Structure 1
Amino acid sequence: MKQLARALRKQQTDAEKLLWSRLRNRQLQGCKFRRQQPIGPYIADFLSLEPKLIIELDGGQHTEQQEQDNQRTRYLQALGYRVLRFWNHEVLNDLDAVLEAIRIAIVV
């Protein structure tokens, strides 16, 4: 899993690169985020341990794997994480709204 996570870090999508540029170095609410973090059988796109928050970015392939995504979300929620999902185009076209939703989730 660790090797896969490393490979995914090197092959980030444009949306992941953009969001990471705004999450890294505690830029958002002082929270430390990790990217491509293994959790059980899954790899979370972005994870902050302090508020137990996971952020997942979905591309077009996720329209065909909704049940798998729902199963993944249930698993992560059972571990006590809150999971926020955004479409890649949301990050690319309205980053401010995505960051505001993440801010709210951190504070709540």
Structure 2
Amino acid sequence: MDQRQFTKVLRQNMTEAEQLLWRHLRAHRTCDQKFRRQQPIGPYIVDFVHFGARLVIEADGGQHNGSADDAVRDAWLKSQGFTVLRFWNNDILQNIEAVLEAILIELAKSIPSPPTPLPQGERGDGKFVSTRDSHEP
């Protein structure tokens, strides 16, 4: 099965914890931020990703406890500029608010806030003023 087909299978067979977390992350529901689920990145398929913030979120079951494969995967993702957050499935299911708060804290670190507008008197009149010398081409 190629990566694209496998991604589709993963989307159709999400765990209960992944489904719960996706309900909160999908459709810009978390601070109007865009997440994708079961997304290929290089040789891996991550559970959730926010490309603008370079944030990967993994929902892990017991099979991931101390996994050497996960350490290699996380190191590769970090080398590509991603931050990886891992949550145990039972934490997602039993304390979704804390999980979402941790995600929001990480998003706040990664996404620049919009610029604050200049005070009324410092905005100018909106006309374009050239600083070029009129003799330059």
TM-score range, shorter chain: over 0.9
Rg larger for? 2
Write the distance in 1 (CA, Å) between the matches of 2:4 and 2:32.
26
Kept in 2, the 8 Å contact 1:29–1:106? The answer is: no
Instruction: Name the counterpart of 1:93.
Output: 94
Structure 2 gaps of 5+ residues are 110-137
Give secondary structure in 1 for the equivalent of 2:47: strand
Counterpart CA distance in 1 for 2:31 and 2:78 is 22
Deviation at 1:66, TM superposition (A): 1.5
Q: Which amino acid aligns with 1:89?
A: N
Match of 2:82 in 1: 81
The structure with higher relative contact order (CA 8 Å, sep 6+) is: 1
Runs of 4+ in 1 over 6 A off after TM superposition: none
Which structure has more strand as a fraction of its residues? 1
Deviation at 1:17, TM superposition (A): 0.3
Structure 1 unaligned residues grouped into runs of 5+: none
- TM-score, normalized by length of structure 1? 0.96
Q: How does 1:15-94 map to 2 (within 5 A)?
A: 15-63=17-65, 66-94=67-95
The structure richer in helix per residue is 1
Letter in 2 for 1:36: Q
Letter in 2 for 1:46: F
Please give the alpha-carbon distance, in whole angstroms, between the structure 2 residues aligned to 1:82 and 1:26. 20
- State the identity as a percent: 48
* Superposed CA RMSD: 0.8
Q: Please name the residue that 2:15 is paired with.
A: 13
